Amino acid sequence: MRWDDIDQQTCSVARTLSVVGERWTLLILRDAFFGTRRFDNFQHNLGITRHRLSERLGKLVDQGVLVKVAYNKRPVRYEYRLTRKGLALYPVLMSLTRWGDDWMDNGEGVPLEYVHLGCGKKTTPLLACSECGEALRPEEVTAQIGPALRDIAAQLENEGDSRPEIQTLLARSLADRIL
């Protein structure tokens, strides 16, 4: 499969990477969360070429992650604002921040500390269960086949193509429902 077709996979990670998987994109989003909105400010902060920045901002606008809003009429100038879809990427950036703080600080400490305005205390990003609030750890979470993949598995089976990896997930999913 070509990288340009990654969004065609029935995989949420692959589809997400088709939007934010280019190396400059997450840095653009980081700056957007820090309040950067104007093209020249993005370019100055990141040191990215104008062409590459224009390309990345255009893709984020096309994907509905950012919206382009005019802030000056003569000459027309635009700024880029996060949409609800863009704001929903905040946990992703905070999780990457946590990983970088834990594993990439070179013993120098974290570059930024985050303060929760609601309580005024420093906070560390945490991935938690939406149902019970408990921290999620990989050994305590399992994947189950969802409706999209279940439909594909049924279609493949009808066509005589029984892929073992899909069948394993399907079997595990069905077993979990029975229990």
125 lies in the same domain as 99: yes
pLDDT, average across residues 49-71:
97
Phi, psi (degrees; rounded to nearest 5) at 144 = -125, 145
103 lies in the same domain as 52: no
Domain region containing 125: 90-140
The predicted-structure confidence for 2-41, as pLDDT tens digits, reads as follows: 766 777 676 778 888 888 889 899 999 999 999 999 999 9
**CATH code, 17:** 1.10.10.10
d(CA 144, CA 177): 10
174 lies in the same domain as 129: no
107 lies in the same domain as 163: no
Sign of CA dihedral 71, 77, 83, 88: negative
136 lies in the same domain as 113: yes
8 lies in the same domain as 61: yes
Sign of CA dihedral 7, 11, 15, 17: negative
What secondary structure, in 3-state letters, does the chain show?
CCHHHHHHCCCHHHHHHHHHCCCCHHHHHHHHHCCCCEHHHHHHHHCCCHHHHHHHHHHHHHCCCEEEEEEEECCEEEEEEECHHHHCCHHHHHHHHHHHHHHCCCCCCCCCCEEECCCCEEECCCCECCCCCCECCHHHCCCCCCHHHHHHHHHHHHCCCCCHHHHHHHHHHHHHHHC
73 lies in the same domain as 104: no
100 lies in the same domain as 29: no
Q: Out of 87, 103, 132, pick the residue that ends a domain.
A: 87
The predicted-structure confidence for 89-125, as pLDDT tens digits, reads as follows: 999 999 999 999 999 999 999 999 999 999 999 999 8
pLDDT at 179: 42
Q: For the chain, what is the radius of gyration of the CA atoms?
A: 21
49 lies in the same domain as 98: no
pLDDT, average across residues 59-72:
97
168 pLDDT tier (thresholds 50, 70, 90): low
16 lies in the same domain as 78: yes
27 lies in the same domain as 13: yes
83 lies in the same domain as 95: no
Domain tally for the chain?
Answer: 3
d(CA 149, CA 157): 12
User: pTM for this one?
Assistant: 0.80
